[in-house]
Chain A
Amino acid sequence: MTAEMQISLEVNGERVDAQVLPRLNLADFLREHLALTGTHVGCEHGVCGACTVRVNGEIVRSCLMLAVQTHGASIETIEGLSDSGEISDLQAAFRDRNALQCGFCTPGMLMTAQDLLKRCATPDREHIREYLSGNYCRCTGYQAIIDAVEMTARQRLAAKP
């Protein structure tokens, strides 16, 4: 039973069929089988948040989910969110506010920040800080990231008719 298993899923809107070993986690599946290397692998035990992706619309740690568990699921990665334009304003805010330096944590930060902004249009800084508490950044000191998320929230609110 340690043999490869057949899975069918949707990744960024495209149907994917693959053969995977049970031990393969979702992060490695995305990176090594599908070449979607925007999903970063940091700690591999759920602490750093760099591997955050969406599964059926909800953010999860892709290092803590097996690829075989995604059979029938819909996955969205940072490539999907970026290509669709869903987070183009958030990405621009990250650039404008110097919210990234080395960029390693950025895909996970963007996934988590967008999840917050979808659920809450007017988060205060404390709420943003709390929501992002599961995403480590080793460069920025976080203030600039919180600035960028706060700025995007304000811009989206102002843009609403």
Chain B
Amino acid sequence: MKASAFAYARATDVVNALELLATHGDKAKLLSGGQSLMPAMNLRLISPELVVDISEIAELQGIAVDGRVLAVGALTRHVDLLRSPDIAAHAPLLAEAVAHVAHPAIRNRGTIGGSLAHADPAAELPACMLALNATIIVRGPGGERRIAARDFFTGIYGTALTPQELLVSVEVPLAPKNSAHFFREFARRHGDYAIVGLAAQATVEAGAFADLRLAFFAVGDRPVLAKAATMLVGVEVTPALLSKALTALGEELDPQDDQQASAAMRRHLAKALLARGVSALLDRTDLGLGVPG
């Protein structure tokens, strides 16, 4: 199908984009990479009256190390994340995850800001933001707001953004020494949305977790930071303890049934990812071998 008719405005800078949003509110849609918005428009799932093209705004571009954080502009494309030495050095989880986002032709256009603002519960980057404890920075008529990733995602395609606000950048704390990461997803085809996925970031000291953040995606209406992770921090992880954590994870998650997988299958796959993740992060082959049904 083809998109229905709309007016088009190319925003010259953030102030200009915010003026257009203030005037048109929820009748307007921001276009960055277009890799989620354009399919939705072509399928007539949404029909905005005005498309505000922000894709050329220079101040929303670029990746920079700024003190103890990586500042990533909203218009940073997936391919830029893949190729960036700063991302590889300071947020390797993100580099690994992005390789699973769609396909090369889509990664050449899709942006991090677009993916986060779209907030598909099966998408990789929102989960990474949770695992990395990132801060999402938005600008609106009232100025700038800094929102913790865990407070940003509010439901299926739902975020803390108001229709008058624009996501301008994200700040990711630099990965400390002794940090380890793990990313894995189950999908029907490489590049498809995940059936279940896990983005994990950990600090490992003397063979134990000093910190562990497990962000599961495609297991609910938004990415989920698993509480079961706390059971594994500051203690020696034995197979028995891991087993308890798997049970806790199964009780904590409330995944949906759909044409891709049943809730029970998603729960099982999430447990498998937890076991594999812990095994990989601690470099312990005795863990993560089997998941009881």
Question: Which residues of A line the B interface, CB within 8 A?
Answer: 1-2, 5, 21-23, 25, 28, 44-46, 49, 52, 58-61, 63-66, 68-69, 112, 115-116, 129-131, 133-135
Contacts and interface: CB of A to CB of B under 8 A. Distances in A.
B191 interface: yes
Contacts of B190: 129-130, 133
Contacts of B1: 44
A46 B189 contact: no
Given A44-B1, A61-B109, A49 B43 contact: no
Contacts of A52: 105
B53 interface: yes
B151 to A, nearest CB: 30
Nearest to A1: B7
Contacts of B35: 46, 61, 64
A109 to B, nearest CB: 12
A65 B38 contact: yes
Find the residue from A22, A25, A52 having the highest chain B CB count within 10 A: A22
Contact of B8 (A1, A112, A130): A1
B6 A58 contact: no
Contacts of A25: 2-3, 38, 42
Find the residue from A52, A68, A133 having the highest chain B CB count within 10 A: A133
Contact of B9 (A1, A61, A64, A131): A1
Contacts of B43: 45
B208 interface: no
B103 A58 contact: no
A70 B283 CA distance: 48
A115 B79 CA distance: 14
Nearest to B43: A45
B8 A60 contact: no
Given A23-B4, A44-B2, A64 B109 contact: yes
Interface of B: 1-10, 31, 34-35, 38-39, 42-43, 50-51, 53, 55, 79, 102-106, 108-109, 189-191
A45 B79 CA distance: 20
A21 B38 contact: no
B8 A68 contact: yes
B29 to A, nearest CB: 12
Contact of B104 (A21, A65, A134): A134
A153 B2 CA distance: 37
Contacts of A46: 35, 38-39, 102, 106
A64 B50 contact: no
12 contacts: A1-B7, A21-B5, A25-B3, A45-B39, A59-B108, A64-B38, A68-B10, A115-B104, A130-B191, A133-B103, A133-B190, A135-B103
A133 B8 contact: no
Contact of A22 (B38, B51, B102): B51
Given A22-B51, A46-B39, A60-B108, A133 B189 contact: yes
Contacts of A60: 105, 108-109
Contact of B105 (A21, A49, A130): A49
B7 A64 contact: no
A28 B105 contact: no
A65 B2 contact: no
Contact of B106 (A23, A44, A66, A134): A134
A134 B2 contact: no
A115 B107 CA distance: 13
A52 B102 CA distance: 14
Given A49-B103, A64-B39, A133-B103, A22 B7 contact: yes
B191 A66 contact: no
